[in-house]
Chains A and B, each alone.
Chain A
Amino acid sequence: MASHGVPRQRSVEERSQEARQQEIRKIEKYQELDRSVHDKIDQHQYTPETLQNISELLSSNPEYYSVWNYRRQVLRHEFSQAASSDPEDAGIGRIVDLIKSDLLFLIPLLRSFPKCYWIWNYRLWLLEEAKHLLPLPLARRLWQEELALVGKMLSLDSRNFHGWGYRRFVVETLETLPSEGTTRKTMAPEEFEYAKKMIGTNLSNFSAWHYRTKLIQRLLDENSANDQERKKMLNDELDLIHRALCDPYDQSLWFYHQNIMCTFDPSLAGSTMAPNLSTSERLEYVQREIDEIQELSDGAEDCKYIYQGLIDCTLLMCKIQGTMPSGEQKKNILSWLSELKRLDPLRQGRWLDFERSLEKTSKDT
């Protein structure tokens, strides 16, 4: 199993005799538990006792993915027994109890091992079972509670990509599980607010910026936004990122900026928030960006992202016009490139490749 961020302990020789004995006992206990679980599953003993053993085994090793599947087998068995019980209501009550107590079992594991794929996957499976086995209002309530849980998990680690992925699943599912008397309802507006809140808490949170790009697309599409409304959204996003870039050293912000710039790239515009801008509009926007970034450089002459941004925007101008860099543009690019080579020695190979490609294109023309 991979360990992350666990400080190294003293070497084996230095540890006390007692500590080593303790470790050996722990290993023996684990192996015994492992054997017992395997034996019980082989004999199809899908009992509460087996479930208890499985819980203990997974608590000490949640990466043991076969054991998560054994757990599913035991639960499936218990669900089918409950479903055939009489009266029907009692069966449903029993299934709710089983699912709730299993969801509860997972909470401390998620908190201790937030990066373990199998725990998140198992939890989703459990909730999918709820969707199939329970009346809609009951299933919906369980899924609704997940939104609070994942909110809590993301407040503990706002970059956990399992958490963000899980949130998307929960939202997608809730959108297909209407509450009584309503039809399918989009959650894009409230999720947009959530992403906004997360960005507000920490501007460096690229996960939240990424979510924002996806939600903007959804909001515009779901409202059948016209080109004018799309342009308004684009202008708002540009204003926002310009304000955020008062700290130009934050990489997350520049990736969001790069993302918005795709709107002006003729080969990528189709999958962006404003796909139908005219060529002259695109040129105007990019020129404005070049001016904005140049203003940023005042007092941040040592910030490499600025020079990178200027080069990217200038190349984008050429791409929109379908031309090679002009004499003036080329002179600018070379001067920004020399700053990059000075400020960014780690990526020297990249900048030298770029320099060579510039020389090559000018020779060709």
Chain B
Amino acid sequence: MLYTVSAVQVLVMLDAVDELDKRGLGGKQKVASFIAGLQDKKTGCFAGDEWGELDTRFLYGAFNALSLLGLLHMVDVPKAVAYIHGCQNLDGAYGIRPGAESHAGQVFTCVGALAIAGELGAIDKDRLAGWLSERQLENGGLNGRPEKLEDSCYSWWVMSSLAMIGRLHWVDGKKLAAFILRCQDPEAGGFADRPGDMVDVFHTCFGVAGLSLLKFEGTKEVDPVYCMPKAVTSKCLAK
């Protein structure tokens, strides 16, 4: 599933989804039916592959790719939405499975999937945003759970979630931008989890995407639901 979702996203970025149908291998319908086949009939959640581990990362990935292909109706959306509600805790945030501790990464997957399904109205936005805004620490960085260390990738998981529920201004954007910039390796150019650490593509992507949500000068607008340029997703979803 993960490679498939990435492939769909790359095709969308290159405006080449139509190529799928030109190749005569079943086209996007076939890609979508592979993803749809990974939905668990019993719970509504999705598995990552035939071996069957279920979690909300795969549910989000499925919704992401299917909606970009315009084929979200191929899966049982209400059942998946009910599963997401089951992952919510009393603090307003979400865990990876029903009963699991709230975690900012899983907040992104759950809120992102709800956004794609058009179900953001069901969220108690002030309560969730309260939990998310408490992720910011004095040094400006964000953590993923109470009493944990900051990490630049949460600049994406937390901020995209806040953006989707209209509460980006509930954290100090200037201090966060300064923290993200301190994570950059001035020589190699990439970003690390924390200042002074080894850089990698993962943290570079989410650091830059976080800067874009903060409207940092020189960045293009990112879509908080898809982590892709807004211009690309707008064009694709308007089709």
Contacts and interface: CB of A to CB of B under 8 A. Distances in A.
Contact of B101 (A4, A6, A210, A272): A210
Contacts of A271: 90
A232 interface: no
Interface string A209-221: 0110110000000
A115 to B, nearest CB: 11
Task: Name the residue in A4, A164, A252, A268 with the highest tally of chain B Cβ atoms < 10 Å from its Cβ.
Answer: A4
A161 B99 contact: no
Contact of B90 (A65, A262, A346): A262
Interface in A243-292: 250-252, 255, 258-259, 262, 268, 271-272
Interface in B130-183: 130-131, 133-134, 136, 138, 145-148, 151, 153, 167, 169-172, 175
B8 to A, nearest CB: 18
A125 B51 CA distance: 8
B198 interface: yes
A182 B56 CA distance: 36
Contacts of A259: 90-91
A349 interface: yes
Nearest to B96: A165
A1 B90 contact: no
Contact of A161 (B90, B100, B151, B199): B100
A9 interface: yes
Contacts of A258: 90-91
B192 A8 contact: yes
B187 A3 contact: no
Nearest to A259: B90
Contacts of B49: 65, 69
Contact of A345 (B100, B103, B172, B199): B172
Interface string B109-146: 00000000000000000000111011010100000011
B198 A8 contact: yes
Nearest to A6: B198
Interface in A299-334: none
A3 B193 contact: yes
B237 interface: no
A211 B170 CA distance: 29
Task: Name the residue in A207, A211, A348 with the highest tally of chain B Cβ atoms < 10 Å from its Cβ.
Answer: A207
B188 interface: yes
Interface in A152-186: 159, 161, 164-165, 168
A159 B102 CA distance: 12
A286 B202 CA distance: 45
Contact of B197 (A5, A124, A161): A5
Contacts of A345: 172
B92 to A, nearest CB: 9
B221 interface: no
Nearest to B127: A258
B100 A4 contact: no
A45 interface: no
Contacts of B175: 346
B51 A159 contact: no
Contacts of A210: 89, 101-102
Interface residues of B, number: 48
Contacts of A350: 129-130, 133, 167, 170
Contacts of A9: 198
A198 B90 CA distance: 21
A142 B130 CA distance: 43
Nearest to B55: A117
A350 B148 CA distance: 22
A206 interface: yes
Nearest to B148: A159
A1 B131 CA distance: 29
Contacts of A3: 192-193, 197-198, 200
A255 B127 CA distance: 12
Contacts of B130: 350
B40 interface: no
Contact of A5 (B99, B153, B194): B194
B202 A165 contact: no
B194 A349 contact: no
Interface string A67-92: 00100100000000000000000000
Given A262-B90, A346-B172, A347-B171, A168 B99 contact: yes
Contacts of B148: 159
A135 interface: no
B146 A255 contact: yes
Contacts of B169: 349, 353
Contacts of B96: 161, 165
Contacts of A228: none
Given A72-B51, A161-B96, A165-B96, A4 B133 contact: no
Interface of B: 2, 48-51, 53, 89-91, 96-97, 99-103, 129-131, 133-134, 136, 138, 145-148, 151, 153, 167, 169-172, 175, 185, 187-188, 192-194, 196-200, 202-203
23 contacts: A3-B198, A7-B196, A7-B197, A8-B185, A8-B197, A69-B50, A121-B51, A124-B53, A161-B96, A161-B103, A164-B100, A205-B147, A210-B89, A211-B101, A213-B90, A251-B146, A252-B147, A255-B131, A255-B146, A258-B91, A259-B90, A349-B171, A350-B167
